[in-house]
């Protein structure tokens, strides 16, 4: 049985939705950032990085959202969550998710997690001021390259969709106006109507 | 025929080495950061992100190092560069590469690319001062979890190896003493002796 360690309002939601999309059987376990549970010896034994998500499988524990999403797609091939037999199209799916992970999420993290990369309060303020621009630039690139839809890869729903939806939850808090990015905004609304998404969000409350 | 856009001394080296490991036929094209070639309309038409690497294939263009590395492994299965038929082990390979991409490389980038996330010179200096610690913490986690070797995944060489080697080129410039991380240091030496690595470095000069 799979077990997902998550924290509400984090990128762990993407893996959570994908588990529902896959029809997987799983349990979830909440890690409280407020009580710094991710830094306890118990959780560091599960994920030495002290982050979420972590997915416990019968073979061991996985981390890193794009890797977990690809694992879910490959482990539940009947769900059709990625083009598993076309290396180029699979790489396109992965490249999209990589951009969310290593560019968009990283830009977002400078709003609240500046102490990963600097020490001075003035630097944190400077970083926070830049977030609307740096995150907005990511959405500009995504919007300009997104197909008409309904999904990130076009007609076919993939593991890109729950990940973009998860990131897009943070637009307003990052000072990014969704109305500037109508394809992203419509994708977010479309996703929010899916039962698999509603169930994941309800489970995390 | 594959074509790799690269800049010397960047993470593009990882994909370049992997192409050699795969026995792929390819050409390379140098993009000069010094003359801001990555921001020209010509290059932005290839990669709208204005970054390297970009891999031109007969089906289209791929970006993002971990996605390109997985593409190379899947496109040249006989080279055995990833456990392609075991979703869990494939995810482990990907998770390692994701950590290099989204945590180690991002920490490193705060030394020279602070203007992605802040605007004030004082912030850039603060970020630069923190790089030895933040990058060093990444190598601490890698070192503590690396198997005895000879390769990142143990006995079998994978697409993790050229990527770790590429990142480890930057240790000294990031103020990280390799002698604190003997497994990483020995891996770097072992990699530097491989003909596929020597050839890639020579081609980029």
* B106 pLDDT above the threshold of 90: yes
CB contact under 8 A, B48 and A145: yes
Contact at CB, A70 and B90, closer than 8 angstroms: yes
**What is the structure's pLDDT at A149?**
87
B40 touches chain A (CB under 8 A): no
The angle at the Cα of B162, spanning B158 to B168, to the nearest 5 degrees, equals 130
Q: For chain A, what percent of residues have pLDDT higher than 70?
A: 100
DSSP state of B78: G
Residues of A in contact with B105 (CB under 8 A): 102
Cα–Cα distance for residue pair A142/B42, rounded to 1 Å: 20
Residue B149 has pLDDT above 90, yes or no: no
**Which of B70, B95, B116 shows the shortest C-beta gap to A134?**
B116
At B26-39, the pLDDT tens digits run: 999 999 999 999 99
Sheet holding A60-63, edge to edge: A26-30, A2-6, A54-57, A60-63
Residue (of A180, A133, A93) closest to B63 by Cα position: A93
What mean pLDDT value characterizes chain B?
A: 97
Q: What is the chain B residue with the closest CA to A133?
A: B117
Q: What is the mean pLDDT of residues A96-125?
A: 98
Q: What percent of chain A has pLDDT over 90?
A: 99
Q: Please, what is the average pLDDT of chain A? A: 97
CB nearest to A134's CB, from B90, B117, B130: B117
Is residue B205 classed as helix, strand or coil in its secondary structure? coil
| pLDDT per residue as tens digits for the range A117-136 | 999 999 999 999 999 999 99
Whether the per-residue pLDDT at A92 is higher than 90: the answer is: yes
**Is B143 part of the contact surface with chain A (CB cutoff 8 Å)?**
no
- CA dihedral for A90, A93, A98, A99, sign (positive or negative): positive
Dihedral sign from CA coordinates of A55, A57, A61, A67: negative
pLDDT at B152: 98
Judged by a CB distance cut-off of 8 A, whether residue B129 touches chain A is: yes
* Closest listed residue to residue A181, CA positions, set A132, A140, A133, A137: A140
Please give the DSSP secondary-structure letter assigned to residue B82: S
**CB–CB of B52/B31 below 8 Å?**
yes
> What is the C-alpha to C-alpha distance for residues B205 and B196, in angstroms, rounded to an integer?
15
Half-sphere exposure of B81 (CA within 13 A, CB side): 28
What's the whole-number mean pLDDT along residues A91-98?
98
Q: Name residue A164's beta-bridge partners.
A: none
To the nearest whole Å, the CA of B192 is away from the closest chain A CA by 27
pTM over 0.90: yes
- The 10s digit of each residue's pLDDT in A154-179 is 999 999 999 999 999 999 999 999 99
- Which residues of chain A lie closer than 8 angstroms to B119, CB-CB? 126, 129-130
Which chain B residues have a beta carbon less than 8 Å from that of A103? 49
Using the 8-state DSSP alphabet, how is residue B151 labeled? B
Burial of B42 (0-12, 13-18, 19+ CB in 10 A): exposed
Cβ of residue B81 closer than 8 Å to a chain A Cβ = no
8-state DSSP, B53:
-
What digits encode the pLDDT tens for the residues B41-73?
999 999 999 999 999 999 999 999 999 999 999
Q: Do A67 and B144 touch (CB under 8 A)?
A: no
DSSP B7: -
Q: Could you tell me if A61 and A55 are in contact, meaning their C-beta atoms sit under 8 angstroms apart?
A: yes
The answer to whether A131 and A173 have CB atoms below 8 angstroms apart is no
């Amino acid at each position: 049985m799979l077990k997902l360690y998550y924290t509400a309002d984090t990128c762990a939601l993407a893996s959570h939705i994908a588990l529902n999309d896959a029809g997987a059987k799983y349990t979830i376990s909440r890690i409280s950032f407020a009580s710094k549970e991710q830094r306890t010896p118990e959780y560091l034994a599960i994920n030495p990085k002290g982050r979420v998500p972590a997915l416990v499988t019968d073979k061991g524990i996985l981390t890193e959202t794009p890797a977990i999403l690809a694992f879910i797609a490959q482990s539940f091939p009947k769900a059709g969550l990625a083009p598993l037999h076309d290396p180029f199209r699979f790489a396109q799916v992965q490249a999209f998710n990589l951009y969310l992970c290593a560019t968009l999420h990283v830009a977002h993290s400078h709003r609240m997690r500046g102490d990963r990369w600097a020490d001075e309060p003035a630097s944190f303020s400077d970083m926070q001021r830049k977030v609307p621009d740096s995150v907005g630039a990511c959405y500009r690139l995504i919007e300009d390259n997104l197909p008409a839809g309904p999904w990130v890869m076009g007609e076919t729903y993939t593991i890109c969709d729950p990940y973009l939806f998860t990131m897009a939850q943070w637009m307003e808090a990052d000072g990014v106006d969704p109305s500037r990015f109508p394809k992203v905004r419509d994708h977010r609304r479309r996703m929010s109507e899916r039962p698999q998404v509603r169930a994941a969000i309800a489970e995390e409350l």
